[in-house]
């Protein structure tokens, strides 16, 4: 099926070619990092600062993308990273292949609407196939979970074990909660040992050195406010009534500090400043006060200790009402070697912090990224199971798409063909990165899958032989594969539907900002 080239046809296809070229350029920046033989990418900014990594999400985050289509792909890849924390490189390669095949079909005369229709059907079939073949995990001790962490962690066993240790301390129920992200509990430090620390670790120290460095069995106050007396307008202080109110506020504040001490509150966490009166009185009472915590850190301490976040007005409450707002910690101590504050509790939600050590800042940041990938893989695998890695899951889904293609309309089948081509791309790229012929190896795997009725076959990148990935311990979290396919489909559909590119006029506000 061919369509004669006309001026109208060329005008319609021209924007697609430009967008496809931009998408291809972004994909080229990350595709060389895919697989066990993938290499690193060096990112250099205008000041000469260098980042060396093979983490796809980092490359896409820092890449200088100026083309609108390239920006769209980067945004979708970021969404992939936020949702499941891994698979950004795979999503980018799939999107690039879908768009390239889609443009080729448009050039043949296939309507874009039919291509999109077929793509949707093909991706839905592939997703269903991957989900159906996913292997559920028995628990945090399941060997397949360790395999998933090891693969996502680029075979750095210490980081994989770190994530598994943190997962065991936190528990599966919390890990499967939609509002919890294990990767957020990673701290990287130069010269530190890698370890799992039960509880919450804060990069903070007490307000002064006279405060205790360690506490046990203490009540905890989490103040999302300043620990200061009520304030007056400066103009009011010049009046007699204003001065009287100022003195009353000072007295009430001292009484509040005395009530805290009497209630056994020895650990106080504050998001803003701490007044000198509070510092003096609480130091005398043997309390440990931490100021200027981030809202996220304060929230973590509150959830771990069972405390309620309060404002300064709560300090005026009677002792019995205030007690109901307090949390409890088994220990609050400063680690003298690292200077970090560590909070351990049993009253609230179980938590654990992963400390990732490294020799230099550059190595530290790369190890942190690797640990985050492993942590995300652990969490995704527990939620949705695992599937054979190494590109096997995508190739196995080809049979599902072929079945859907037969049920699609005559023209929509061309859109399904785009999905069939894209599903070959991840393995083809890994094979190419390993130095083998991608066409030969992909066809060898497909033939072996049909012959052995196995969905777990791919290429061993050391030997070039067709190998069972499950037996080799190469697995990926199923949610990562599913989300990568969906994300690639979304960006491919968005790009293929662009018929015209028009520079929009500046709004008055934008023009004023530009001229200013």
Strand partners, 451: none
What is the band of 190 on the pLDDT scale with cuts at 50, 70, 90? Answer: confident
What angle (nearest 5°) sits at the alpha carbon of residue 314, between those of residues 309 and 317?
135
Distances (CA, A) of 284 to 26, 221, 270, 273, 458: 60, 17, 18, 19, 67
Longest dimension (CA), the chain: 95
Residue 183 per-residue DSSP state: G
What confidence tens digit (pLDDT) does each residue in 84-128 have?
777 788 989 999 999 999 999 998 889 999 999 999 999 999 999
Phi-psi region of 474 (alpha: psi -120 to 50; beta: other; left: phi over 0): beta
For every residue of 188-247, DSSP letters joined together read EEETPPPEEEESEEES---SSTTS-SEEEEEEEEEESS-BSPPP--GGGGGSHHHHHHHH
- Give the pLDDT mean for 37-54: 80
What is the band of 14 on the pLDDT scale with cuts at 50, 70, 90? Answer: confident
How far is Cα 1 from Cα 370, in angstroms, rounded to an integer?
47
Question: In 359-437, which residue ranges form alpha helices assigned H by DSSP?
Answer: 361-384, 392-407, 412-433
What pLDDT shows up at residue 2?
A: 47
| Residue for token pair 């693969």 | 151
Comparing CA positions, the residue from 9, 20, 19 lying closest to residue 100 is 20
How far is Cα 516 from Cα 511, in angstroms, rounded to an integer?
9
- Residue predicted with more confidence, 365 or 514: 365
Q: Please tell me whether residue 390 adopts helix, strand or coil conformation.
A: coil
* pLDDT above 90: residue 310: yes
How far is Cα 498 from Cα 68, in angstroms, rounded to an integer?
11
What confidence tens digit (pLDDT) does each residue in 373-407 have?
999 999 999 999 999 999 999 999 999 999 998 88
Tokens representing 120 are 């949707």
Query: Is the separation of the CB atoms in 85 and 153 below 8 Å?
Result: no
Comparing CA positions, the residue from 374, 277, 265, 361 lying closest to residue 319 is 265
What is the band of 1 on the pLDDT scale with cuts at 50, 70, 90? Answer: very low
Residue 360 per-residue DSSP state: S
Q: Beta 41-44 vs 200-202: how paired, if at all? A: unpaired
Which burial class, exposed, middle or buried, applies to 454 when counting CB atoms under 10 A from its CB (0-12, 13-18, 19+)?
A: middle
Query: Is the separation of the CB atoms in 143 and 150 below 8 Å?
Result: no
Q: Please tell me whether residue 391 adopts helix, strand or coil conformation.
A: coil
Which burial class, exposed, middle or buried, applies to 244 when counting CB atoms under 10 A from its CB (0-12, 13-18, 19+)?
A: exposed
What confidence tens digit (pLDDT) does each residue in 455-477 have?
999 999 999 999 999 999 999 99
What pLDDT shows up at residue 515?
A: 45
| Residue for token pair 């967008």 | 19
* pLDDT above 50: residue 3: no
Comparing CA positions, the residue from 427, 449, 417, 401 lying closest to residue 127 is 401
What pLDDT shows up at residue 249?
A: 83
Instruction: Give the contacts of 67 (CB within 8 A, at least 6 positions apart).
Output: 18, 19, 22, 25
In this structure, of 6-10, 152-156, 263-267, 307-311, the range with the lowest mean pLDDT score is 6-10
* Centroid of chain to Cα 27: 20
| All structural domains of the chain | 7-135+387-496 (1.10.560.10), 200-350 (3.50.7.10)
Describe the crossing of helices 68-84 and 88-107 by its angle, rounded to 10 degrees. 140
Distance linking the first and last C-alpha atoms of the chain: 55
Query: Is the separation of the CB atoms in 85 and 379 below 8 Å?
Result: yes
Q: How many CB atoms lie within 10 A of CB 302?
A: 23
What sign does the CA torsion over 172, 173, 174, 175 have? Answer: positive
How far is Cα 59 from Cα 88, in angstroms, rounded to an integer?
10
What is the band of 243 on the pLDDT scale with cuts at 50, 70, 90? Answer: low
Q: What is the 3-state secondary structure (H, E, C) of 429-478?
A: HHHHHCCCCHHHHHHHHHHHHHHHCCCCEEECCCCCCEEEHHHHCCEEEH
How far is Cα 428 from Cα 94, in angstroms, rounded to an integer?
11
Q: Please tell me whether residue 36 adopts helix, strand or coil conformation.
A: coil
Query: Is the separation of the CB atoms in 386 and 478 below 8 Å?
Result: yes
């Amino acid at each position: 099926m061919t369509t004669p080239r006309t001026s109208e046809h060329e005008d319609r296809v021209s924007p697609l070619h430009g967008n496809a070229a931009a998408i291809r350029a972004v994909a080229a920046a990350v595709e060389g990092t895919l697989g066990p033989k993938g290499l690193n990418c060096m990112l250099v900014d205008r000041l000469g600062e260098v980042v060396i990594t093979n983490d796809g999400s980092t490359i896409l985050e820092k890449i200088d993308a100026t083309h609108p289509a390239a920006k769209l792909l980067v945004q979708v890849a970021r969404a992939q990273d936020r949702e499941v924390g891994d698979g950004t490189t795979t999503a980018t390669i799939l999107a690039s292949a879908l768009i390239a095949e889609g443009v080729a079909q448009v050039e043949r005369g296939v309507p874009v609407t039919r291509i999109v229709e077929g793509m949707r059907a093909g991706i839905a079939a592939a997703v269903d196939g991957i989900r159906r073949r996913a292997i559920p995990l028995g628990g945090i001790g399941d060997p397949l979970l360790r395999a998933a962490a090891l693969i996502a962690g680029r075979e750095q066993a210490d980081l994989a074990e770190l994530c598994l240790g943190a997962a065991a301390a936190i528990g599966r129920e919390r890990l499967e909660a939609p509002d919890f992200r294990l990767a957020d509990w990673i701290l990287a430090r130069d010269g530190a040992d890698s370890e799992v620390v039960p509880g919450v670790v804060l990069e903070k120290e007490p307000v002064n050195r006279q405060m205790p460095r360690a506490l046990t069995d203490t009540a905890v106050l989490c103040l999302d406010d300043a620990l200061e007396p009520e304030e007056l307008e400066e103009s009011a202080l010049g009046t007699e009534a204003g001065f009287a109110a100022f003195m009353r506020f000072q007295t009430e504040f001292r009484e509040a500090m005395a009530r805290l001490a009497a209630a056994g509150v020895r650990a106080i966490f504050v998001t803003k400043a701490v007044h000198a009166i509070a510092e003096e009185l609480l130091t005398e009472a043997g309390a440990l006060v931490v100021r200027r915590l981030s809202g996220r850190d304060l929230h973590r301490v509150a959830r771990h200790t069972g405390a309620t976040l309060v404002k300064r007005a709560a300090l005026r409450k009677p002792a019995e009402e205030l007690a109901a707002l307090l949390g409890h910690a088994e220990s609050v101590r400063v680690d003298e070697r690292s200077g970090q504050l560590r909070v351990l509790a049993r009253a609230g939600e179980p938590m654990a912090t992963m400390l990732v050590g490294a020799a230099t800042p550059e190595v530290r940041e790369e190890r942190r990224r690797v640990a985050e990938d492993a942590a995300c893989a652990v969490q995704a695998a527990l939620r949705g199971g695992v599937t054979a890695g190494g590109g096997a899951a995508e190739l196995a889904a080809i049979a599902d798409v072929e079945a859907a293609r037969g049920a699609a309309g005559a023209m929509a089948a061309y859109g399904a063909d785009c999905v069939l081509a894209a599903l070959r791309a991840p393995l083809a790229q890994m094979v190419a990165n390993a130095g083998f012929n991608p066409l030969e190896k992909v066809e060898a795997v497909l033939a072996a899958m049909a012959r052995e009725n196995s969905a777990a076959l791919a290429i061993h990148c050391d030997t070039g032989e067709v190998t069972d990935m499950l037996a080799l311990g190469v697995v990926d979290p199923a949610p990562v594969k599913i989300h990568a396919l969906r994300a690639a489909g979304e960006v491919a559909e968005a790009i293929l539907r662009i018929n015209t590119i028009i520079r929009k006029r500046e709004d008055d506000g934008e023009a004023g900002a530009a001229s200013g």
